[in-house]
Amino acid sequence: MSTFQAPKGTYDLTPPRSAKFLAVREAISAPLRDSGYGYIETPGFEDVNLFARGVGESTDIVSKEMYAFETRGGDKLALRPEGTASVLRAALEANLHKAGNLPVKLWYSGSYYRYERPQAGRYRHFSQVGAEAIGAEDPALDAELIILADQAYRSLGLTEFRILLNSLGDKECRPAYREVLQDFLRDLDLDEETRRRIEINPLRVLDDKRADVQKQLVGAPMLRDHLCDACKAYHEEVRVLLTAAGVVYEDDEKLVRGLDYYTRTTFEFVHDGLGSQSAVGGGGRYDGLSEMIGGPALPSVGWALGVDRTVLALEAEGIELPIPAATSVYAVPLGEEARRVLFGVVTQLRREGVAADFAFGGRGLKGAMKSANRSGARFTIVAGERDLAEGNVQLKDMESGEQEAVALADVTGTIRGKLSASDG
């Protein structure tokens, strides 16, 4: 074993488990690709102020969890703790919003970094698939994104997740509510840090998970009672569209999410099989974020779903994803001439779109057949000097155990025929 190990709070993805993560990424992105979302990729690090301004100075993410550093050239950068600010920055820089087709719909997949206390389902490096719809204020867009996430989870077979929904109001109605909430919170028995949060972003106090804080929050003024008519109507339309689409959700008036940029619609996907880290994904509308980072007014909405958490949710429900074998055909040569001939057959099969592998390292028949078994291949090709002298190879069906001699010239066509017959 190497003397080096993965850093604390991180993990390596290795086969066969990595195939599950790939399948989850594919399932989450498939509905997005079918709904007009284009793929975007951004750097793993950005200017630290992008997150300080966009995500919010008062958030735990910026104040405690961000990996920030200074480069040799004196630039202050941070590893990205979330995806939205980076994607919006990239869209603005590329002037995607000026192409005349709003909203700009984008999806992404990648690693994110937060210096957190590691525990099951919470890592310092984690993987997400996200989607952003930039430049349109439309309740149908909010509903679309929630429906697509619901569709992705259901396509994986998940059933025990819940969708929590709330509205955070907008710049018209939230300031008045903020004052009422601050007045209520200032009278409570809270620690210094929480008191500081009351002044910067009091909504975050509602999100405090500590029992002694939650006990004191009973009777706190609720945002829904202070929403302006426009926000009420907007939220009601999102709810109507979700219900019409058959998507079940729960109203959660305390749902604020951990980022400062959210306005109006906010939502979370939770799975009760995951213990304290029950959120598997979430998002919301962020109508003012573009201006916060120096762009024009571009009302937008998006979400991010945790790949790690989704895999844990699948395991909690006992769902095994149907992951096909990586190899369909495994070639076992016996002797030098057979090595050259069968390597040529494997190369040809791959060119014809058949997943094929080869017994490397010159092992004997017994060891090579064990490798063929472990590869999950449906067929094995075996050939020695006598077979080649007769112009044949031995083709073994690994499911039935049947073996037959096949002419070397016909082997790729025969295998393709058998594979398509078994798929059909």
| Binding positions for L-histidine | 82-84, 114, 128, 132, 257, 261-262
Question: What value, to the nearest 5°, has the Cα angle with vertex 372 and ends 370 and 376?
Answer: 115
Numbered residues of the known binding site: 82-84, 114, 128, 132, 257, 261-262
- Supply 157's token pair: 């077979």
> Which residues touch 4 (CB under 8 Å, ≥6 apart)?
none
Question: What value, to the nearest 5°, has the Cα angle with vertex 112 and ends 67 and 53?
Answer: 60
Q: Are strands 279-285 and 300-306 parallel, antiparallel or unpaired?
A: antiparallel
Instruction: Tell me the C-alpha distance between 77 and 65, whole Å.
Output: 14
H helical segments located in 207-281 = 211-216, 229-244
- Supply 147's token pair: 């429906």
Of 266, 290, 265, 368, the C-alpha closest to 97 is 290
Q: Are 190 and 208 in contact (CB under 8 A)?
A: no
Q: Say if residue 110 is exposed, middle or buried (CB neighbours under 10 Å; 0-12, 13-18, 19+).
A: middle
Instruction: Tell me the C-alpha distance between 12 and 88, whole Å.
Output: 29
At residue 215, what is the residue type?
A: K
